[in-house]
Structures are given as C-alpha cells and as structure tokens.
C-alpha cells in the first residue's frame, strides 16, 4: 500500500515474493492443463500458428473418414466381382458338361445354368454399400475428396457387370437351325435349353460360341476387379498418408503449445524453494525494524 512505508530491503524482498508467486501460478497452471500456450494472451504468435495447424489437421481428419467410407464402398464392389467370377467358372463348367451329357442330363444342366445366371445378377445387386452399387449399373459414381482446399479427388464410375455379361451371352443365341435363347441371362426353358442340342457340328458351334462368351465375360469381370482393386489400394495409401500428415501437423502444433511437464515440475520445486527464501528475507528485513523499536523502549 502506498501509505505504508517499507524499508528498501523489505520492499526488495516483497517484490521478489510477488514475482515468485506469479511464476508459481503460471507453472501450476501449465502442470494442470499441460499447456504452456493456452490462449493468445500467453503467446499470440505461437497460439495462432498452432491453431492453424490444428484446424488443418481437423479438416484432413474429416476427409479421412470419407476416404475410409470410400474404401468400404469399393471393397463391396470388389467382393461382387469375386463372386461373379466364381459363378462364371461354374457356368463354364456346366457348358463343358453339356458336350458329353445325354438329353435328360442336359435338361438338368439347363436348370442349373439358369439358376447360376440368376444368382450372378442377385449377387451383383447385393454388392452395395450405403446404397451405392458400383457393379450393377452404369450411371452411379463415387467421388472421394482428399482435402478441403483443392480439387484433389478420385472418381470411380460404376460398371454394369451383370447386365453387360448377360447381354453379351445373349449374342450367343443362335447357330444355324439350333439355338439357345438366353432369357434373363439364362437358357430359355421354353426353347428346350441344352436339351435341343445334339452331337451335330452346329451344336458344337453353339457351345463353342457360348464358351467364348463366358470367357469374354470372365475377362470383363477380372478387368473390373483389377480396376476396383487398384482404386482400393490407392485409397488405402491416401488414407495412410492423411493419418501421417495429420499426426505431423498435430505434433507440430503441440511443440508450440504443450508444456514440458518434467521441466515445469522442476521449476515448481525451484520456485517453492525461492518462495521460502523470500519469506525468510522478508522476515529478516522486519527484524531490523523490530531492533529499532527495541531501542525506543
């Protein structure tokens, strides 16, 4: 207080105690919060630099979530191509069996062939993720954005594998007088299916044509699987990059704002010792005045 006069030594001791108390308060705050720069008041330059890094990391984190969802969408499509390839292999096996089968067996093979074609379409229709299917239509697309500030993105267009495969098979419908009409992707039972075939040359031509179409469909499926698989790999690589990048920015922000708890703990011990010394110094300064008082008694 201005109306109380202290000696120079007492004033010095008091000032030292006040400074020590302020430093202790700051150190205790850092130990409690773990932050050496908790607001712009502490260090405006470091605070806003760190805030910029944190905001950018947050933007990339939100994009990473979309990338991960994109990976799931494309993976579902890859699963669709896998089952389609497996079904086509079974269909190829059935066509090979037709060549040496009798008429009754061929009727059974016709039913099996139709069932496999139906299952192929069903499997492709089920290969969707959150309403997006990349293997049963040619109009849908998936666009995955990689950051907020630029147009960096990957667009994956859907491919109609079931319809394209079945329409391709339908072009193998006829060969001379004999024909296998493919209805809905299968052998039309109304036309007798494989049962109408004999061991004639024209029958062999029909089966060869059908095998060729199945092989072409298999190639289409495999090409689509390779394209989708490549996109999954790229998206996973981009997801890993985003994770590492956000970690780098977060770490950089922490270097400017986080407190070194070991250092701050040591500082607190030193300040506590300094505070005790300051109190003792103030006590000694007061004893000088008490000695003067004793002379006046």
pLDDT digits (tens, 9 = 90+) for 62-107: 888 899 999 999 999 999 999 999 998 998 998 889 888 887 888 8
Listed ranges 21-30, 128-137, 277-286; the one with the highest mean pLDDT: 128-137
pLDDT class of 259 with cuts at 50, 70, 90: confident
**C-alpha angle with apex 178: 173 to 179, nearest 5 degrees?**
20
pLDDT class of 258 with cuts at 50, 70, 90: confident
Q: What distance in Å separates the CA atoms of residue 184 and residue 88, rounded to the nearest whole number?
A: 15
| Statement: residue 24 has pLDDT above 90 | no
Mean pLDDT of the chain, nearest integer: 79
Q: How many CB atoms lie within 10 A of CB 73?
A: 23
Write down the residue that tokens 């954005």 correspond to: 145
| Statement: residue 47 has pLDDT above 50 | yes
pLDDT of residue 179: 44
* Cβ proximity of 36 and 270 under 8 Å: no
Over residues 137-165, mean pLDDT = 84
| Statement: residue 151 has pLDDT above 70 | yes
* Cβ proximity of 281 and 13 under 8 Å: yes
Taken in order of first residue, the domains within the chain and their CATH numbers are 65-242 (1.20.1330.10)
More confident residue, 23 or 143: 143
Enumerate residues 6+ apart whose C-beta is below 8 A from 136: 80, 121, 124, 125, 127, 128, 158, 160, 161, 162, 163
pLDDT class of 228 with cuts at 50, 70, 90: very high
Identify the CA nearest to 81 among candidates 215, 224, 186, 219: 224
Find the DSSP H helices in the chain: 8-33, 44-98, 103-126, 161-170, 201-257, 261-296
Over residues 138-151, mean pLDDT = 83
More confident residue, 263 or 295: 263
Over residues 203-231, mean pLDDT = 87
Q: Which residues pair with 153 in a beta bridge?
A: 145
* Confidence (pTM): 0.71
pLDDT of residue 292: 61
Q: What distance in Å separates the CA atoms of residue 197 and residue 296, rounded to the nearest whole number?
A: 137
| Statement: residue 37 has pLDDT above 60 | yes
DSSP secondary structure string for all residues of 217-244: HHHHHHHHHHHHHHHHHHHHHHHHHHHH
Write down the residue that tokens 């000695």 correspond to: 291
Q: What distance in Å separates the CA atoms of residue 123 and residue 115, rounded to the nearest whole number?
A: 12
């Amino acid at each position: 207080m201005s109306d109380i006069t202290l000696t120079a030594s007492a004033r010095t001791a008091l000032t030292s105690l006040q400074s020590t108390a302020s430093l202790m308060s700051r150190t205790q705050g850092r130990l409690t919060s773990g932050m050496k720069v908790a607001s712009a008041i502490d260090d405006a330059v470091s605070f806003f630099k760190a805030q910029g890094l944190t905001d950018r990391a947050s933007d990339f984190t939100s994009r990473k979530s979309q990338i991960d969802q994109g990976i799931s969408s494309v993976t579902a499509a890859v699963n669709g191509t896998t089952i389609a390839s497996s079904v086509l292999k079974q269909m190829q096996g059935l066509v090979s069996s037709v060549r040496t089968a009798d008429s009754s067996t061929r009727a059974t093979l016709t039913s099996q062939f139709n069932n496999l074609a139906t299952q192929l379409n069903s499997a492709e229709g089920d290969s969707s993720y959150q309403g997006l299917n990349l293997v049963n239509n040619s109009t849908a697309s998936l666009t995955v954005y990689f950051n907020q500030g630029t147009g960096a993105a990957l667009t994956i267009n859907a491919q109609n594998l079931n319809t394209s495969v079945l329409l391709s098979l339908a072009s193998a419908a006829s060969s001379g007088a004999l024909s296998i009409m493919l209805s809905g992707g299968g052998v039309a039972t109304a036309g007798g299916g494989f049962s109408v075939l004999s061991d004639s040359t024209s029958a062999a031509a029909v089966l060869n044509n059908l095998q060729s179409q199945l092989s072409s469909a298999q190639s289409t499926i495999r090409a689509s699987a390779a394209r989708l698989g490549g996109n999954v790999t790229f998206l996973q690589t981009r997801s890993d990059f985003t994770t590492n990048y956000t970690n780098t920015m977060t770490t950089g922000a922490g270097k400017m704002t986080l407190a070194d708890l070991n250092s701050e703990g040591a500082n607190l011990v030193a300040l506590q010792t300094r505070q005790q010394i300051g109190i003792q110094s103030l006590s000694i300064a007061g004893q000088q005045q008490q000695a003067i008082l004793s002379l006046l008694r």
